[in-house]
């Protein structure tokens, strides 16, 4: 169960011609998830900044 | 009594405090399990006898569509809480979960389409499963658009909750579509009630990927809801203290 299914890196990339489908799907999905986290983190920072500015002593 | 219990444990303040503590645990568990599940599935699981290596998309596609449906189901429960008991937090959670639901449904549709090219010879087919999942994606976008269309946020919350409850009828349709109609999409390979047509060498990394993506999406939900709650409650004392 824990033997690697490929003999070398080229086989991993190519996956018998299916690599283009497999790797493109994973890369795009991972990118979308990472961007979602960055956007969510930035939103929190933005909201906190706005609240601080609004309530800053003049 | 139920109402008092729900109101006690559903204050936005408690939610932000509790989830702030849980976030590091959830994100660590989610990412670790995703890395293990995907590495196992992509590199160590054997190729499928019929589909070859293209089946490895399953470790992303299946978790994505499972959570596309589960997030909507969660939103429907929140919508009921908001309509029946007027729980503010429930509406905030719907608004925060909808973009994540749309994102993961898009990933499910996209990964399925790419998987369809080598497997079915087409990237799209108007069959029951794919079409009902596309409707789910449109529902998510509709919910977000509806909520953004009103300046009165309380009214938006209420209308959004009603739309979410109406749209939940699509979830059993997605689930049962492969049984009710003859579709290009294959029937479910794994079931909660037991029984699986997948070999354990493929099933275990799939289960780990499902749990990993679940925790990762909960972590994303925590961040998304935190920013939305802070912006909606910005005039409250506890928010000023928190910031």
Nearest CA in chain B to A52: B243
Residues of chain A positioned with their CB less than 8 A from the CB of B112:
none
Q: 């009165």: which residue's tokens?
A: B152
pTM: 0.93
pLDDT tens for chain A, 58 residues: list them: 678 999 999 999 999 999 999 999 999 999 999 999 999 999 999 999 999 898 887 6
* Contact between A21 and B57 using a beta-carbon 8 Å cutoff: yes
Q: What is the pLDDT, as a whole number, of residue B194?
A: 63
Note whether A40 contacts B227, CB cutoff 8 Å: yes
Q: What is the mean pLDDT of residues B17-46?
A: 96
At B103-117, the pLDDT tens digits run: 999 999 999 999 999
How confident is the model over B5-19, as pLDDT tens digits?
676 668 899 999 999
């Amino acid at each position: 169960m824990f033997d690697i299914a490929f003999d070398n890196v080229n086989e991993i990339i190519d996956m018998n011609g299916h690599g283009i489908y497999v790797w493109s799907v994973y890369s795009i999905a991972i990118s979308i998830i990472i961007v979602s986290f960055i956007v969510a983190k930035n939103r929190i920072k933005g909201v906190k900044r706005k609240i601080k500015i609004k309530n800053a002593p003049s | 009594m139920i109402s008092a219990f729900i109101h006690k444990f559903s204050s936005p303040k408690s939610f932000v405090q509790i989830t702030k503590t849980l976030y590091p645990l959830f994100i660590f568990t989610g990412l670790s399990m995703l890395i293990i599940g995907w590495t196992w599935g992509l590199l160590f699981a054997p190729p499928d006898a019929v589909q070859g290596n293209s089946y490895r998309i399953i470790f992303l596609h299946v978790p994505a569509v499972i959570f596309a449906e589960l997030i909507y189901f969660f939103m429907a429960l929140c919508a009921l809480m908001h309509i029946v008991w007027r729980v503010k937090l429930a509406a905030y959670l719907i608004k925060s979960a909808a973009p994540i639901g749309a994102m993961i449904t898009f990933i499910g549709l996209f990964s399925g389409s790419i998987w369809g090219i080598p497997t079915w010879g087409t990237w799209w087919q108007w069959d029951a499963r794919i079409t009902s999942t596309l409707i789910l994606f449109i529902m998510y976008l509709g919910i977000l658009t509806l909520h953004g269309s009103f300046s009165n946020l309380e009214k938006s919350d209420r209308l959004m909750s009603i739309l979410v409850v109406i749209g939940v009828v699509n979830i059993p349709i997605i689930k049962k579509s492969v049984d009710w109609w003859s579709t290009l999409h294959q029937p479910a390979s794994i079931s909660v009630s037991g029984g699986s047509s997948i070999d354990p060498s493929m099933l275990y990394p799939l289960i780990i990927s499902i749990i990993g993506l679940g925790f990762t999406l909960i972590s994303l939900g925590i961040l998304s809801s935190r920013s939305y709650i802070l912006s909606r409650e910005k005039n409250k004392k506890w928010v000023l203290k928190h910031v």
